[in-house]
Structure 1
Amino acid sequence: MAQDTAMTVPAAGTAAGLAAALRVPVWNALADRADALRRSLPPRPEAAGDRFAWWRTLTPTQARDATALEHLDALCEHIKGSGRPAPGYAPDDPLPEAALEAADGFTSADVAARIADYRALRDALLTQRPPGRPAAAP
């Protein structure tokens, strides 16, 4: 049993290290996409009532872009670790799958390869049996 625990700790550390290394490039990709959308939309008011009126003035294409902007902004706040996790994502998930998907195609080949490595490590960790739990009898 102790061997299982010892084997999962390095893998978990590697996944955590990769997540830490990917935080900035993924955040940059999402922030760049959000900035491009923000520039393409009419100025967005901060007050809730004004924001409601603003949403009603948007064309369907602008509304779709505004929705994407809201989603990207929420993911950026989540990745930044500001204490405001994106709705629907665990606060302790450093790189939600939605953030990785939103960054796909907007990063360098090196970052894309590291994202693939992170996904593989994360998925392997999620499918491992918990440390200390005995294997099923054959």
Structure 2
Amino acid sequence: MSAPAPALTTADPAALAERLRAPVWSALWERADALRRALPDRPADPHGRWQWLRSLDPAQARQAALLDHLDALCLHLAGRHALGYRADDPLPEAALDAADGFTSLHTAQLIAAYRQACGRRAKASPGTGRSKVL
């Protein structure tokens, strides 16, 4: 039997960010992986990628754009900073938004505590699991 999770008593953003990095990354990676499986294979070379993007229908194009966004956020969380996000921001708001609804209740509560500790806007209610549609 595992020990219960520590109580949410810390208001230290750095400590919360460290606790959140892995579960947020995991939620984003799982969403990206599901999109990768749903889309046709994506070529690596630029010309093939351009042809691939042109071949997608509008719904697939939206999924491909979301996949690119999630991939960039995963790289940022892993330390390879993505364009458009501050290098010193360990958990960009976009990553928290993208993970919202795709994490456990405990992780959602940690996200809410992190947002409060950083003075960020709070969501209406923490997510309660993988209830959102990709």
Output the TM-score relative to the length of structure 2.
0.80
Determine the C-alpha separation between the residues in 2 that align with 1:80 and 1:88.
16
Report the AA paired with residue 117 of structure 1: A
| Equivalent residue, structure 1, for 2:34 | 36
- Cα deviation for residue 21 of structure 1 reads 0.6
- Root-mean-square deviation (CA, aligned residues, Å) is 1.3
Residue by residue over 1:37-79, the C-alpha shift from the partner in whole angstroms, topping out at 9 and shown as x without a partner, is 0000000000001000000000000000000000000000000
| Equivalent residue, structure 1, for 2:125 | none
Question: How many residue pairs are counted as aligned between the two chains?
Answer: 111
- Cα deviation for residue 87 of structure 1 reads 1.6
Determine the C-alpha separation between the residues in 1 that align with 2:17 and 2:54.
39
The one of 107, 115, 122 equivalent to 1:119 is 115
Q: Percent identity?
A: 59
Determine the C-alpha separation between the residues in 2 that align with 1:54 and 1:92.
34
| Equivalent residue, structure 2, for 1:89 | 85
Output the TM-score relative to the length of structure 1.
0.78
Determine the C-alpha separation between the residues in 2 that align with 1:39 and 1:28.
16
* Secondary structure of 1:34 counterpart: helix
Alignment of 1:1-138 (within 5 A): 14-81=12-79, 84-123=80-119
Report 1 or 2 for greater relative contact order, CA contacts < 8 Å, sequence distance ≥ 6. Answer: 1
Residue by residue over 1:15-37, the C-alpha shift from the partner in whole angstroms, topping out at 9 and shown as x without a partner, is 10100110000000000000000
- Cα deviation for residue 86 of structure 1 reads 1.7
Which contiguous aligned blocks of 4+ residues in structure 1 show a shift greater than 3 angstroms?
A: none
Q: Structure 2: 5+ residue runs without aligned partners?
A: 1-9, 121-134
Determine the C-alpha separation between the residues in 2 that align with 1:123 and 1:71.
24
Which structure carries more helix by proportion? 1
Q: Structure 1: 5+ residue runs without aligned partners?
A: 1-9, 125-138
